[in-house]
């Protein structure tokens, strides 16, 4: 342990020490990206993957499961991912209190409110729609909330990678909706699900 | 930096590895934020006793603010850099850079 008796290191070493400490601290406070991004990635990869196998691209399902089963897989994986992410966030938020934890709390409630409202709107509208369109409504509306909140999160924490992730989610969502339910599920699974897994490990390695 | 100016003085409170690391870590927090003592201890890899000693020195200099409170029934201590501490850290990094410049720069 460094103590007063120890001779002070050279200015270069002190500067390096400051930089290393700053990087370590930022890394620690940001939370583990493997807990914050990867669970969503896995949930979308498998959940949208299942939906895609149900829809197929030419109107023919690739897997004989009902839409309810496919949506069920999707939703339970999302709940699981939410649980893991919440664990990651609680582990982070015990370390610091003050303005930034107030920020995090409000942001958390914004997610909750967005998802609840999405469910209210979609459950009111979806019975009026043909099955494929109703599935697409749920998927597209939930990804709209996700994308907008990631962009907002980027603004709150001045984090360009988070902002950019939100932009990608919205872009994939838009293209998917235009192309239809099967394509939406395929693109979301591969690009967003796979993308989130890759981003989480890339952020983790970069530190 | 102007050549020939006397080398800037380094703040003795901060110019010790352990305390420099404490201040550098706390300086990354936002203005209204405080860090819990155990989190700071883990982050720095110091023992509780060692960290306490350094925090006391920093508190005596008016560089950190230590708040003892309770979360439920467990006592928790929070540590934050004061305005003065932030300023001192800025001055210190400036001084270190100036020293490096007069020495012909790093590397």
pLDDT in tens, B16-27: 889 999 999 999
Q: Does B9 touch chain A (CB under 8 A)?
A: no
Query: Is the alpha carbon torsion for A182, A184, A187, A189 positive or negative?
Result: negative
> What residue in B sits closest to A12 (Cα-Cα)?
B106
Provide the shortest C-alpha distance from residue B89 to chain A (in Å): 10
Q: Which strands make up the sheet holding B64-71, listed edge to edge?
A: A96-98, B33-36, B74-81, B64-71
Question: If you average pLDDT over residues B46-72, what whole number do you get?
Answer: 93
Judge: B43–A28 Cβ closer than 8 Å, yes or no.
Answer: yes
Judge: B24–A11 Cβ closer than 8 Å, yes or no.
Answer: no
Task: Please write the tens of the pLDDT for every residue from A9-23.
Answer: 788 888 899 999 998
Distance, CA of A206 to CA of A26 (rounded, Å)? 12
Predicted ipTM of the assembly: 0.82
Residue given tokens 């399902």 in the structure block: A61
Distance, CA of B54 to CA of B47 (rounded, Å)? 11
- Give percent of chain A above pLDDT 90: 38
Angle at B29 between CA B26 and CA B33, to 5 degrees: 105
Quick one: pLDDT at residue A6? 57
Judge: B34–A22 Cβ closer than 8 Å, yes or no.
Answer: no
Structural domains in chain B, CATH included, are: 17-96 (1.10.10.10)
């Amino acid at each position: 342990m460094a103590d007063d008796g120890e001779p002070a290191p050279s200015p270069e070493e002190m500067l390096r020490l400051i930089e290393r400490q700053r990087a370590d601290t930022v890394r620690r406070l940001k939370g583990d990206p493997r807990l914050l991004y990867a669970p969503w990635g896995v949930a979308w990869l498998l959940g949208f993957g299942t939906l895609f196998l149900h829809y197929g691209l030419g109107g023919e399902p690739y897997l004989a499961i009902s839409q309810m089963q496919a949506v069920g897989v999707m939703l339970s994986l999302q709940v699981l991912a939410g649980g893991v992410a919440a664990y990651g966030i609680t582990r982070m938020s015990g370390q610091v209190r003050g303005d930034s934890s107030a920020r995090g709390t409000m942001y958390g409630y914004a997610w909750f409110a967005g998802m609840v409202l999405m469910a209210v709107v979609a459950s009111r509208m979806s019975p009026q729609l043909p099955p494929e369109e109703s599935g697409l409504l749920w998927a597209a509306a939930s990804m709209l909330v996700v994308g907008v909140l990631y962009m907002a999160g980027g603004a709150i924490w001045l984090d360009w990678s988070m902002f950019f992730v939100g932009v990608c989610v919205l872009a994939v969502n838009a293209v998917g909706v235009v192309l239809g339910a099967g394509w939406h599920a395929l693109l979301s699974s591969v690009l967003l699900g796979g993308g989130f897994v890759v981003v989480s490990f890339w952020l983790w390695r970069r530190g | 930096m102007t050549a020939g100016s006397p080398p800037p003085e380094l703040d003795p409170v901060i110019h010790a590895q352990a305390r420099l690391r404490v201040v550098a870590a706390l300086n990354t927090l936002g203005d209204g934020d405080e860090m819990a003592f155990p989190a700071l201890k883990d982050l720095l890899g110091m023992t509780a006793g060692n960290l306490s000693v350094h925090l006391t020195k920093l508190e005596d200099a008016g560089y950190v603010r230590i708040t003892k409170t309770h979360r439920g029934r467990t006592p928790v201590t929070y540590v934050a850099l004061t305005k003065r501490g932030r300023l001192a850290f800025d001055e210190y990094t400036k001084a270190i850079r100036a020293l490096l410049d007069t020495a012909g720069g790093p590397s």
